[in-house]
């Protein structure tokens, strides 16, 4: 059965959310499991493994390792959301889209003023943070 990218993405997001909820519901705290830290660490490990598989005539292993990175990233988002450290997984996707469409345009051909746009975004993000947490100087 072939699924579209968006169907596969949604299935993975749903599965990782269920997994994190399962861990939370049973109070899972094994020595190796440390909620979001587990997935930050996992992304680093899996990225190193994927980099080792980044060679010609090796797409099966590379795709497998990239899937592991993606799984850890999705678990990370679900864990951070469950821990209350982010407002929602969708907020991360929305912020990423808004950030990069400003930097490269909707056609992907921009980016000529990447550093300038990045600097402006940093100022705006600081203002948003200060306003949200009521920490204006």
Q: What is the pLDDT of residues 84-99, one digit of tens each?
A: 999 999 999 999 999 9
Binning pLDDT at 50, 70 and 90, where does residue 31 land? low
pTM for this structure?
A: 0.87
pLDDT above 90 for 29: no
Binning pLDDT at 50, 70 and 90, where does residue 59 land? very high
Contacts of 66 (CB under 8 A, 6+ apart): 50
H or E element, residue 49 = helix 36-52
Collapsing DSSP to helix, strand or coil, 96 comes out as helix
Summarize pLDDT for 63-82 with one digit per residue, the tens: 999 999 999 999 999 999 99
- DSSP letter for 109, please: -
The reported pLDDT for the residue numbered 111 is: 83
Residue tagged 């080792």 (tokens): 52
């Amino acid at each position: 059965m072939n699924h579209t990218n968006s169907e596969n993405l949604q299935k993975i997001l749903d599965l990782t959310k269920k997994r994190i909820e399962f861990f939370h519901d049973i109070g899972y705290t094994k020595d190796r499991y440390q909620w979001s830290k587990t997935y930050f660490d996992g992304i680093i490990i899996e990225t190193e493994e994927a980099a080792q598989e980044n060679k010609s005539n090796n797409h099966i292993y590379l795709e497998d390792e990239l899937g592991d990175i993606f799984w850890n990233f999705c678990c990370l988002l679900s864990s951070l959301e469950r821990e209350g450290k982010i407002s929602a997984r969708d907020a991360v996707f929305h912020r990423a889209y808004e950030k990069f469409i400003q930097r490269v345009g909707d056609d992907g051909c921009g980016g000529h003023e990447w550093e300038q746009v990045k600097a402006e975004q940093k100022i705006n993000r600081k203002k948003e943070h200060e306003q949200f947490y009521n920490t204006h100087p």
